A and B are shown apart, each in its own frame.
Chain A
Amino acid sequence: MEYQGKELFRRVGIPTPRGVHATSAADTVAFVAANPGSWVLKSQVMMGGRGKAGGIKFADDAAAAKPLADELFGKVLKNEQNPDGEEVRSLLVEEKVQIASEAYASITIDRAAKKPVIIVSSQGGMDVEEVAEHHPEAISKFWIDPAIGFQPFEARQLAFAAKLPVGYHKAFPKILAGLYQMFMEYGANLVEINPLVLTASGDVIASDAKVELDDNGIYKHPDLNAWRNDGPADEDQAAAVAIGLGMSNYAKFADESGEAPKTIGTIANGAGLGMGTMDAIKSAGGGAANFLDIGGGAQAELVKNSYNLVTSDPRVKAMFINIFGGITRGDQVALGIVEALKGDDVRKVPLVIRLTGTNAEEGRKILAEAGFFPVETMNEGAAKAVALANGAK
């Protein structure tokens, strides 16, 4: 979140506005009362667009701050991208700065170039993708050779190319150097300052901070791991981790207008097959309620927990388990599934299981005898699941 990103900014010498991270309305009001001036109350949430969603307020004294802080704490911010919304649990109370100009600076990984790329724009405070679409001339990029690292000339080159106002020029190389140091040191996927403000008094400060860390690299920074856990993690990810899946092995999909209702739960062994499974359901006229990659072995316990996770979604009316038995034997997989789902502690929905590979025929026989619907191909399974979800017997 912003307050954590700014803490990292300060560690590498990037100037940020004076402020405090407040975890209660009382703390917020007490801070404003003790520090006369104009303050911004910024909701600390993961979602973007919090200003438009009503998550940013302004207060010039404690009396004005109180009702605003009371309103913000516990408020659920929502917008089009986040229909479920996100609850505000803390505020960053920051000095209000007099803005002369707003710029944008970020460093991210360019997958195709396999290099870090610095992106600078003279149009700060806006979505950089929109700027790229409508004012490409305002954006400038530089690809860093990781073997050489960041050099100050890159910042000068970018500042001129993106036509940053002259007031930025002196501070800019130091700010980008700090940003690159942070990007590398913490193994970030993205570090972003938007806006990078030039104040009326001529200072250059990071008014907002966005840092996306690489889950795979987090083990190198146990201090940041602790930070990550105190925020409201993605619910899907938390649910996946709780049953022993990888963080991104499960995702739940919201219903969308103009599309078939999401009534079919899916489990597949492998990410590609999982994606293929949801696509096949869509092709068959249905809607996948989720993506779940159960990984290689499909152990009985994990099958059961995955099944329970997917069917905890009340929209799910039928289930499609798609297993391409490569190395594992089909009859063993079938026995595992039957064992996992035979108890009364699972919600019974019509269950279609696609099973191929070694001993798949024996596997399908076992499944049929247990009352499930075994099929041989993915298309067949998707069609059957859609029919069952729509009430077929």
Chain B
Amino acid sequence: MAIFLDKNSKVIVQGITGREGLFHTQRMLAYGTNIVGGVTPGKGGTHVDGGSASAAASNLPVFNTVKDAVDATGATHTIIFVPPPFAADALYEAHDAGIGLAVAITEGIPAHDMLKVVATTKSMRIIGPNCPGLVSPGKALVGIMPSGVFASGRIGMISRSGTLTYEIVDMLTRAGLGQSTCVGIGGDPIIGTTFVDCLEAFANDPETDAIVVCGEIGGSDEEDAAAFIKAHLPNKPCVAFIGGRSAPKGKRLGHAGAIISGNFGTPESKLAAFAAAGVPVADRPSEIPDLLMSRLAMHA
């Protein structure tokens, strides 16, 4: 198993004929993701070359609407590469067509657009926006992550950041700790799937033995994650990391959500929450593999 994504997930790409959309479609297909088509309004009936992963991949159908794509292919997942002004509409369209999980890569979607989307599309899981997507190593990748750093295994990984995830996963893989699923939940203030949602799924996944939570300053998602771990995850070791601990207050660092405002979102509050939940917080990413292994040994 894995969470949210496996080999059977049928994936479409919204914005497949754009430069980014096509580039990542080819990479996802090369990884083994079951991409069944794409959507670009006005280009329905055409095909794109998704590379040489399979005969089907080299001749992928493009549809005018998500509904057409779902009707023709039975798609369950979508990945969205459309510009910010059209991204909320793309999410509504996916929801309307009955898609179960949507990955929104787009950076720069207005927070108010996302407020309305998450309030009204509850039957669809949204990963992101402003995220690198997710990967169940050895099975499928729906995102823009560099596939080379991942290895299949039994560690679950959740992160608000992209590159920091690759950094940490690279170390896990080198230490022989493969991953069940890695989810980049995104760095925006309003996101569809939170740490807690992912923890809940990992808690129920028999193929995940331990979890890495890679947070950052700002918001209260890490505090909520710590409380959830304390209450619901007594049997799965968790290790945390918090990016931006040396940041001064009031500076927004890259991610729209990464800012300490007043006394909210401080590293102190997050460290205290993880300490109360018995979750060790690594001072540096390089400490994470050892912390995980010692926790796993304690639980064994």
Chain A residues in the interface with B (C-beta under 8 A): 81, 109, 111-112, 114-116, 129, 145-147, 184, 187, 189, 214-217, 219-220, 236, 246, 248-249, 251, 253-254, 256, 268-276, 278-283, 288, 291, 293, 324-327, 356-358, 377-379
A113 to B272, CA, bound (A): 21
Q: Do A109 and B254 have beta carbons less than 8 Å apart? A: no
Q: Do A378 and B27 have beta carbons less than 8 Å apart? A: no
Nearest A residue to B254 via CB reads: A271
CB < 8 Å neighbour of B252 from A146, A248, A254, A281: A248
Q: Do B118 and A114 have beta carbons less than 8 Å apart? A: yes
Q: Do B111 and A214 have beta carbons less than 8 Å apart? A: yes
- CB contacts (< 8 Å) of A283 on chain B: these are 283-284
Q: Do A189 and B253 have beta carbons less than 8 Å apart? A: no
Nearest B residue to A326 via CB reads: B146
Q: Do B250 and A270 have beta carbons less than 8 Å apart? A: no
Q: Do A248 and B256 have beta carbons less than 8 Å apart? A: yes
Number of A-B residue pairs with CB-CB distance less than 8 Å in the complex they form: 165
**At the interface, is chain A mostly helix, strand, loop or mixed?**
mixed
Q: Do B244 and A378 have beta carbons less than 8 Å apart? A: no
A377 to B168, CA, bound (A): 11
- CB contacts (< 8 Å) of A270 on chain B: these are 161-164, 254
Q: How far is the CB of B142 from chain A (nearest CB, A)?
A: 15
Q: Do A291 and B247 have beta carbons less than 8 Å apart? A: yes
Interface size on B, residues (CB 8 A): 61
Q: How far is the CB of A26 from chain B (nearest CB, A)?
A: 35
Q: Do B254 and A275 have beta carbons less than 8 Å apart? A: yes
B149 within 8 A of A: yes
- CB contacts (< 8 Å) of A278 on chain B: these are 244, 246-247
CB < 8 Å neighbour of B257 from A111, A184, A249, A377: A111
A-B contact pairs, 19 of them (CB 8 A): A116-B115, A146-B116, A215-B256, A216-B109, A216-B110, A271-B163, A271-B255, A271-B258, A272-B255, A273-B161, A273-B167, A275-B253, A276-B164, A276-B285, A278-B246, A278-B247, A279-B245, A280-B284, A357-B148
Q: Do B164 and A272 have beta carbons less than 8 Å apart? A: yes
Question: 1/0 per position for B81-119, CB-CB distance to A under 8 A?
Answer: 000110000000000000000000000111111011011
A69 to B263, CA, bound (A): 35
CB < 8 Å neighbour of A147 from B84, B120, B160, B167: B120
